[in-house]
Amino acid sequence: MLAGIGITTVGPGGVLMTIGLFTLTALPPPVVAGTSIVTHIATGLAGTLSYVRSGHLRAPATRRMASILALTALAATPLGVLINARISHRLFGVLLGSFVGAIAVVVWHRQRRSATAEQPERALGAGPVAIIGTVVAIASGLFGVGGPMMTVPILVAGHVPILLAVAAAQAQSLAIATVGTIGYAACSSIDWRLAVCVGVPEIVGVIIGWKIARRVPSHRLSYALALILLALAPYLALCGG
């Protein structure tokens, strides 16, 4: 539920699913990532349909960026799945802790940037978008997280309009979650019963988070999440294994 709330209030809440499964269960890293990533299919589908309905994913520039991100997700997500299968539980904790710390810095930087003077918006070329999509897809496949939590802040930092970035990242998220689920399922690395147990509350949390986001200033939520992630990062890296 907390992961779902984080998704619709500040964006990068999906990482809380991986953190929870890693710290509160004795599951091996592939099952942690596989069980987490399957829950993102529903949120990715809902986000994609929402932006198709709103018209943002119908704009040529958005479609082009979304297509590149989705294609790189199809190619690179399996690499993250393969890496996960070959690392130890301890190394997974170190990598996850480093990843969570990096996300906290990105969230903090994005919030501080949004509070400053606006920068001129522009569209990124196909090359930079493909590089971003590849790196994000590998990390998402490795940790079982959604793509928008990384893609949106990076695109916005590159002066891409926020709605274009969010809309394009939804299609990427759906591709990552689908391919990642297929990959982990092929390796029998998904606890389906647990996925249902955590996935249903996550959807409820998405609805709750949407309501919270309309009442609580977004900058407070962003800073709160950044502080929580910064506090968790050392624990994951040093004690999580």
* Domain carrying residue 227: 2-238
> pLDDT tens digit string along 184-233?
999 999 999 999 999 888 888 877 876 776 676 656 766 776 787 788 78
Helix count (H) and strand count (E) of the chain? 11, 0
Q: Buried b / exposed e across 80-106, counting CB within 10 Å, b at 16+? A: bbebbbeeeeeebbbbbbebbbebbeb
Mean of per-residue pLDDT scores for the chain: 83
φ, ψ (nearest 5 deg) of residue 59: -70, 140
Give me the pLDDT at residue 214, please: 65
> pLDDT tens digit string along 150-178?
887 788 777 787 778 878 888 898 999 99
Instruction: Decide if 73 contacts 131 (C-beta within 8 A).
Output: no
| Structural domain total, the chain | 1
pLDDT band at 117 (very low <50, low <70, confident <90, very high): very low
φ, ψ (nearest 5 deg) of residue 214: -85, -10
Tokens encoding 30: 């592939």
State the chain's maximal CA–CA distance in angstroms: 49
The pTM score is 0.82
Tokens encoding 90: 């301890």
Burial class of residue 40 in the structure, from the number of CB atoms within 10 Å of its CB (0-12 exposed, 13-18 middle, 19+ buried): buried
Mean pLDDT over 38-64 rounds to: 83
Q: Which of 61-75, 79-93, 153-167, 207-221 has the lowest mean pLDDT?
A: 207-221
